[in-house]
Every structure is written in structure tokens, then in C-alpha cells.
Amino acid sequence: AAKMAKGEISAEEMEELREAFSKVDVDSNGYISTDELTELFKVANLPLPGYRVREIVQELSQTMDQNKDGKISFDEFVKVFHGLKSSEVAKTFRKAINKKEGICAVAGTSEQSGTQHSYSEEEKVAFVNWVNKALEKDPDCKHVLPMDPSSNDLFTAVGDGIILCKMINLSVPDTIDERTINKKKLTPFTIQENLNLALNSSSAIGCHVVNIGAEDLKEGRQHLVLGLLWQIIKIGLLADIEISRNEALIALLRDGENLEDLMKLSPEELLLRWANYHLEQAGCSKINNFSSDIKVKYPKDSKAYYNILNQVAPKGDEEGIPPIVIDLSGLREKDDLKRAECMLDQADRLGCRQFVMPPDVVRGNPKLNLAFVANLFNKYPALKKPENQDIDWSSIEGETREERTFRNWMNSLGVNPRVNHLYGDLDDALVIFQLYEKIKVPVDWDKVNKPPYPKLGSNMKKLENCNYAVELGKKEAKFSLVGIAGQDLNEGNRTLTLALLWQLMRRYTLNILEDLGDGQKVNDDTIVRWVNDTLTEAGKHTITGFKDGSISSSMPVLDLIDAIQPGSIRYDLIKAEDLTDEEKLNNAKYAISMARKIGARVYALPEDLVEVKPKMVMTVFACLMARGMKRV
């Protein structure tokens, strides 16, 4: 071979890099994000502590992302990767790429890393202002609020876990039982409990909480705190941008589309539609995103935002709501920042000056502009539910609890792309393959078709994936998939998709127990026996199984928590006998939050206990058993 100049890359090496890149770029969008890099290390099962992985990812993304757009293109990847060839980072990274098999999460340990991580100052300011306002009246937050947005207050304020718990509960109401938050006379132990509660509840609402631990929050690791807080805030902002929650969104249907097409859109896509709907009504051109389109075409004249504000502002046609006339004179302001400031003054009159400062509008910060528009939508949707005869209203059903639990479970594991609609988003089985890897079923990615799919025959490609997914389930995972074909996944047959997902979640849960028990096989009986033994030892009532009627009161769960961590349950807060439905639910909320507080990652919902749903009951006991086995 010809001798190569230093820094040149051989064709073979290039091939290797391309392969590595496409392995990391799970969603094949041509870019890898830092999350995807983290995922690679995880998949590679590198025996590195979490903080080390974080450092490497940080270092790589800082050097690699040369144009600082938060994404790493293949060219950037090649350039820097090659430059780093001899460094320790490159070696580790290379090792990670070459060892693609074997899945095992790298533990989220949190030693002092000593490295300085970068974070976005604008985002910090925006989140601080949002939290200040959201919790303004909460007496439990007086000790830390209001935070000064220009300081680092936020990173100390989150350290006791209270603010995070409160924000989680605002984003998904009723996630955390108020009674389980430690508020007074905090000690290192009770702070740890609050942080466990916050982290495990974040998982339960579908935040991707990988490589972040209580220590990171206690020490206020800036980029981790901001990352988690953004996920929590975003889930809350997007919660109502969904057709079953707001039927007026059907006004966004376009000619030739049916309801199903609209229901498949992600909340972000719906929000963009909404913005464009109002722009169209105003006779303006459309935008394609809340980043460069806001920045380049528009706030050159801040037109998009001005027009949306003008469209949604109350016109005085609704009783009791006075009209607000948007002053458009700021459009004539020549200076970009000043024009954006004038626009935000108008947003302020609607009570919607949130998340963005003039420079964020001018530069088109994607997160903050998305948040700004989402908040505007939540306050002033300005849509009318169409009175259309052709619409089959009965087909609009919200997500069931079971569906929501599965979805939150997989999102918290960081599947990519994020799942918004359980059926539509699984039609190419890509997410299913990622879940197989999480339960140690090897996936031959060469057999998997990856997006973008060709325009013609795209469904064929997806169907092939689904067939392979079912085959893996039958042959490798040894699931019971009688009567399930790839087509059922592809078409989103509810019963059959749920059957597969349940087996995935169940296996995932059992795997955790088996790993803790040195590989010993675990089944339902093993769990019930462990629960019985633990309860008996503590002098409490046992259960006959996951269908035991006594579970409806949550008493067995509460007793088990108290057996695992003696003295943790405040029995004075609960009622044990002759319970009304409301009292049962009350106990169940307390039980679920307590389980998370002592460190169990429970996804089930209180209603699952009250109604004694055996599958979800099983996961609750299994998670507690996992927690109990770690108790030494």
C-alpha cells in the first residue's frame, strides 16, 4: 500500500468508520447526537464507570462538533476521530466501536469527575424563570425560590430534590404523592430519599435517565441538571398537544388526510402544524422548524411570531375575555434584537413572555423556541373543533393506562426515536429491536431496514422488519407469540402488539432480578415466595399471588416497603380496612411514591394496584424485590 501522509485515512479505515457511524446513528438521520454516543458506550459494555463515560462523551462531542450545532456529522466525526487517533479517548472509543455486542447498562456511578462541562446559559436562565413562576406560590419551595437566573442558584436549589419532585408533578399531575416528599429538617439520608423519588419518578413519566444519579443532582452537575429539567418541562409543555386531550386540534386536518394520519403526528409536529395554520390564516408563508426558520427568514422581520400572536390574541368574541390588540408597529424596527424585544413585549401582554430572550429568537435556539410556542399554544390555542360530519369521533380514544406505562417504560430506556404513539411508532419495529437488545436478545442489524425508507414500497421495508422482529421473539427470546405475524405489528393490532410488549417488559424486569441473583432463574413464583418470606419475617400478612384481592388496598405493598426499609411507612397516614374506592386510591398513590422513594423504579400507576391488574402488580413486586435484594 502507498505510504500515507500523517492524518490520511485509508479506504479500509474509512469503511470501518462509516460502519461505526451508522451503528451509532440509530435513527439514520446522518448525524449522531451525544445521546447516541452515550448509547454506543452502553451497548459496547465497556467496563467504565459512568462518570468516565460522561467525560469521554463530553470531550468527544466538544472536539467533534465543530460547527457547534449539537450534532455530529460523519465528516466532523472522521476529522476529529482521526486527529485523536493516539489519544486515550480515541482508543477507548475504538474499543467501544469494535465491541458492539453485549448489552449492559454502564452503571450511573457518580464520582467527582473534576471536568468542566459546558452548558447553555440561555437555557439555564429560561428554565430558572419558568420554575420560579411555576412554583412561585408553593410554600415548600420558599427556602430556595425565587432563584436568581443570572447566578448558579439553580444548581444548589435542586440539590434537595424538592423542586424536581414538584416540577415532575406539575408536568404529569399526581405522579408524586405530596406526603412522601421530605420537607423539614433535611438530613443527607432524607435528601437522598427525595432524590431517589425524583429520579425514579422521572423514569416513570418517560424521561430518559441514563448515567445520572442522586449524587449528580446533589452536587449540581450543571449539564445533567439542565438535561433532566428540560425533559421534565418538555413533557409538561407537550402533554396537551394531543388529539384525545384537545379535539379542536382536528381543525389542523388538511385536505385528503384522515384522522388517523393526524393522530400519528408527534406533539412537535402538531405544534408546527398549529403555528403554520395560524400563519396561513394570516396570509404568511410557512415555517418548517422552530430553529433556523424562525431565525433566518423571519425575525429578520420577526414576522412569524408577530403574526401568530396576532392570530391567537383574544378578539373579544368570548364572554368574559377582554380583547387584546397586538401592536404590530415593532415590525418596522430595523435592529433584529430590538424587533424581537418589541415582539416579546406583545407576547408579554398575553402573559406568554416565557423561555426566550431576544437573542434566543434571533439565533433560533430550537429548545427555547419550541418551549415558547408550546406555551403559547397551551394558553391560546385559538382553534375551533370542526363540525364535520365525516369525522368519526368515536375513533378518538386516549391512551390506556397500560399503553402509557409501556410507552414511558421504553422512553425511559432511551429508545430512539422517542415513542409518542404506541402503535404508529412501532410500525417499522426499530424500537422493538432496541428493546430486544435491552433484554440481551442479539439483533442482526444487517437484516434490519433503516430509514429513510424509499418512497415506493416503504411499507414493504417496514413489514420486513416486523417479520424479523416476530421471528426473533419466537426463536431467540422464546416468547409465546402464537398467532402473531409481522403484519400485526406493522398494522398496529392493539391486542397483539400489547402481547409482545408485555413479554418484553416482563423479561426486562426478570432479567434485572436474575442479574442481582447471580443468574438464577426467576419466575412469578420466585417473586411471590420472596414477597411472602419477607412479609412473614416482618410479621405481616402474605399474598397468594398477583391476583390477591388484598392488593387492592395496597397494604401488602406498603407492608413490603416497610419490611425492606423498616420505619419508612407512616401507618398513621393510611387506612387499612373497610376502604372506600377513594381511600384505596389514596393508599395506592402513597405506595407507588414510597416505592420510588426507597429506590425502586416502578412504572405502574396507582389504579393498577386498586384494580389489581396482575401484570402491573407483578412489576411492582419485582421492582421491590430488586430493591430488597440490594439491601445488605
Ligand X SMILES: *[C@@H]1O[C@H](CO)[C@@H](O)[C@H](O)[C@H]1NC(C)=O
Which chain residues interact with ligand X by CB under 6 A?
165-166, 169, 173-174, 176, 178, 181, 196, 199-200, 203, 209, 214, 288-289, 291-293, 483, 488, 493, 495-496, 525, 528-529, 532, 542, 544, 599, 601
Nearer to ligand X, 309 or 626 (CB): 626
Nearer to ligand X by Cβ, of 93 and 409: the residue is 409
As measured in angstroms, the least distance from the Cβ of 485 to ligand X is 9
Q: Which is nearer to ligand X, 304 or 443 (CB)?
A: 304
**Residue closer to ligand X, measured from CB, 67 or 116:** 67
**How many residues in total does the chain contain?**
632
CB 205, min distance to ligand X, A:
11
Burial class (CB in 10 A: 0-12, 13-18, 19+), 616: buried
Residue nearest to ligand X (CB): 599
Residue carrying the nine cell digits 373497610: 578
Considering only CA atoms, which of 371, 374, 433, 460 is closest in space to residue 125? 371
Q: Which residue, 9 or 498, has its beta carbon nearer to ligand X?
A: 498
Give the DSSP letter string of 124-184.
HHHHHHHHHHHTTT-GGGTTT-S--TTTTHHHHHGGGSHHHHHHHHHHSTTSS-GGGS--S
Q: Cβ of residue 622: shortest distance to ligand X, in angstroms? A: 14
Cβ-based nearer residue to ligand X, 54 or 97: 54
CA 618/CA 444 separation, integer angstroms: 31
Contact 306, 346 (CB under 8 A): yes
Q: b/e map of 578-601 (b: 16 or more CB within 10 Å)?
A: ebeeebbbbbbbbbbbbbbbbbbb
Please say whether the beta carbons of 416 and 35 come within 8 A. Answer: yes
**Which residues does residue 31 pair with via DSSP β-bridges, in sequence order?**
73
- Among 590, 595, 569, smallest CA distance to 579 is for 590
- H-assigned helices in 161-264: 162-171, 188-204, 214-218, 222-238, 259-263
User: Quick check: helix, strand or coil at residue 31?
Assistant: strand
CB of 480 to ligand X, least distance (A): 14
Residue 31: φ, ψ to 5°: -130, 150
Which residue number, 292 or 327, has a Cβ lying nearer to ligand X?
Answer: 292
When the beta carbons of 267 and 556 are compared against ligand X, the nearer one is 556
Residue number, 323 or 614, with CB nearest to ligand X: 614
User: Taking the C-alpha atoms of 233, 375, 357 and 296 in order, what is their torsion angle to the nearest 10 degrees?
Assistant: 110
Residue 72's contacts (CB-CB under 8 Å, 6 or more residues apart) are 31, 32, 33, 37, 61, 64, 65
> Between residues 486 and 599, which has the closer beta carbon with respect to ligand X?
599
For ligand X, give the closer residue by CB, 382 or 481.
481
* Smallest separation, CB 463 to ligand X (Å): 15
Interatomic CA distance for residues 282 and 368, integer angstroms: 24
Q: Which is nearer to ligand X, 169 or 408 (CB)?
A: 169
By CB atoms closer than 10 A (0-12, 13-18, 19+), residue 526 is: middle
The least CB distance from residue 207 to ligand X, in Å, is 9
CB 313 to ligand X: min, Å: 26
Smallest distance from ligand X to CB 12, Å: 33
Q: How far is the CB of 288 from ligand X (least distance, A)?
A: 4
Termini Cα distance of the chain? 60
CA angle 186, 189, 195 (to 5 degrees): 85
Nearer CB in complex with ligand X: 136/348: 136
The minimum distance between CB 210 and ligand X, in angstroms, equals: 8
Longest dimension (CA), the chain: 85
Instruction: Find all residues with CB under 8 Å of 62, minimum gap 6, and list them.
Output: 118
Are 35 and 19 in contact, with CB atoms under 8 Å apart? no
- Rounded CA-CA distance 553/609 in Å is 8
Q: Residue 626 carries which side chain, given as an amino acid letter?
A: A
Identity of the residue, 234 or 597, whose beta carbon is nearer to ligand X in the bound complex? 597
The Cα–Cα gap between 112 and 42 comes to: 20
Strand partners, 32: 72
Which residue type sits at 628?
Answer: G
Residues 607 and 585 sit within 8 Å (Cβ to Cβ): yes
Return d(Cα 245, Cα 411) in angstroms, integer: 21
**Closest separation between CB of residue 494 and ligand X, Å?**
7
Smallest separation (angstroms) from ligand X to the CB of 79: 21
Pick from 365, 290, 407: which is nearest to 126 by CA?
365
Dihedral sign, CA of 91, 94, 98, 104? positive
The least distance separating ligand X from the CB of residue 179, rounded to whole angstroms, comes to 9
Q: Which is nearer to ligand X, 266 or 532 (CB)?
A: 532
Nearer to ligand X, 17 or 209 (CB): 209
